Structure 1
Amino acid sequence: MPASASSGRTDGRAARWAGQRERRRREFVEAALRAIREHGPDLSTERIAEEAGVARTRLYKHFTDATDIHRAIAARAVELINTELAPLWDLHGSPAQMISTAVDAHIRWLSENWHLYRYLSRLSLSGPDAVNDVKSTIGEHLTVLFEHYLAAFGLDTRVAAPAAFSVVGLVDASTAQWLKDTRGLEHAEFAGLLARWVWRIVDDTLRAGGVELDPGAPLAMPDLAFPSARPEPG
């Protein structure tokens, strides 16, 4: 038998195994995400295996160790978060409308994925910091947006990044605390408060440069090249 034919079959088997292994990894990760949503952030490999309907030892045929499993979950979570927060990348209307849309999208995602958020937050203490990756992605997008408008108004664009990341930190931290203890604040009431606080940051930044903007007046959405999402934790 020609050596090339034998080598071809070997390469083909290796490719099929790699594809099967990757497919199974994805299936186990999806099972883990279901388990987190149903049972909470205290996820064990036993719980993942139970959700996937396999023995725990089967997991380690497709993952190096528990850390590898958690990193794969974090990477998939970042993909899902970036997709579900897509409205943040296409803001339009007046400043008030853009802020309300962004704030509501963030609150809704955290409300619907609170267990996953807590899981990722705990994971960041000893592994990939998926939560920070997502917040950084949002902050980078807002920085580009802020830089455009500051430049259009003839203001100092150096403050764009600090302002953008302060907004992200405010919304994320406030929402996380609200979800732990709403203190009787309904979603709409809380979202309105956050939107007002965010506008105060934006308004103060503009007024410091002598610009007074009507929050209810439409702003043209610029055609901007936003930075791509940050690399997945690997």
Structure 2
Amino acid sequence: MNTHEAINSDGRNTRWDQHRRERRDELIKSARAAVHDLGPSASMDEIAAHAGTSKSVFYRYFGDKNGLQRAVGEKATEFVATELLRAARGKDNPLEALQTMIRIYLELAESSPNVYTFSTESDGETSEFFSGIADVMSTIHERFVVETKPEHRENMAARVSATYWSTAAIGFIRHAGEQWLTEPPHEDRPTAPQLARYITRWLVQGFQPSRTIQPTTPPRHA
């Protein structure tokens, strides 16, 4: 193959790769719209019909329904992570940033519970959606430690909390949020901003923030 043919071949391959990426993104958007309307249990046949294409097209790009769920989840993670990081950067106080991130997470989930459920479930296991969000949460942990206790940044407690806090926090937020999503409207159901405020307080201050837990004094032996 001469140089001219190689350039043409590379150009065709680049255009084809770009076309596949664009087509894949279109199918993910179509799947999101179908799931939003039909529910998270929609079959591949139903999703394809809603998208106006054939099931074989979805199988060609995603393999099976689990593959489609992962792809939708990845796009959702990218979008949510971008929104959460933008919110965090816009706040001077790390606790305010945390509360804002939780509120946005809740509002995005509430905007389409069907897509949220579809994105976060795959083969009955937690998808990579939450590990991606946990990575974002770790940035808040870093800010909190650096801005409030910089001298503790390198000690063991800080390293342990950096490892586990974001994972524990997203589990807490997830389960509280999912229970909230399934509740029908009633007078005691908090709004997303209200629940975000509660969750932030629980994560940072505990269940009873007004009380200080004192260490237990061991009993004296006679």
Tell me the TM-score range normalised by the shorter chain. Answer: 0.7 to 0.9
Give the match's secondary structure for 1:135.
helix
The aligned counterpart of 1:148 is 146
2:32 corresponds to which letter in structure 1? L
Whole-angstrom distance in 1 between the partners of 2:61 and 2:167: 38
**Structure 2: segments with no counterpart, 5+ residues:** 214-222
Return the offset for 1:141: 1.4
Deviates more, 1:130-139 or 1:75-84: 130-139
Residue 176 (structure 1) shift: 1.0
Change (3 A) 1:10 1:78: same
- Stretch moving more, 139-148 or 149-158: 149-158
Question: Percent identity of the aligned residues?
Answer: 21
Structure 1: 5+ residue stretches without partners: 209-234
How far apart in 2 are the matches of 1:96 and 1:108? 18
Conservation of the 8 A alpha-carbon contact between 1:138 and 1:168:
no
* Equivalent residue letter for 1:133: S
Q: Which amino acid aligns with 1:173?
A: H
Moved more, 107-116 or 164-173: 164-173
Partner residue in 2 for 1:193: 198
In structure 2, the partner of 1:171 is 173
Q: Higher RCO, 1 or 2 (CA under 8 Å, sep at least 6)? A: 1
Shift of 1:130: 2.6
> What is the number of equivalent residue pairs in this alignment?
205
TM-score (norm 1): 0.69
Give 1:75-90 correspondences, 5 Å limit.
75-90=74-89
Provide the residue aligned with 1:211 in structure 2: none
Alpha-carbon distance in structure 2 between the residues aligned to 1:153 and 1:131: 33
Where do 1:48-63 residues align within 5 Å? 48-63=47-62
Distance in 2 (alpha carbons) for counterparts of 1:37 and 1:80 = 17
> What does 1:11-26 align with in structure 2 at a 5 Å threshold?
11-26=10-25
Q: Would the aligned equivalents of 1:171 and 1:194 in 2 still touch at CA under 8 Å?
A: yes
Q: What is the RMSD computed on CA atoms of the aligned residues?
A: 3.4
Cα 1:56/1:166, change in 2 over 3 Å: closer
Q: Using the alignment, how far apart are the partners of 1:202 and 1:158 within structure 2? A: 24
Distance 2:165 2:198 in 1: 18
Amino acid at match of 1:158: R
Residue equivalent to 2:219: none
Deviation at 1:114, TM superposition (A): 1.9
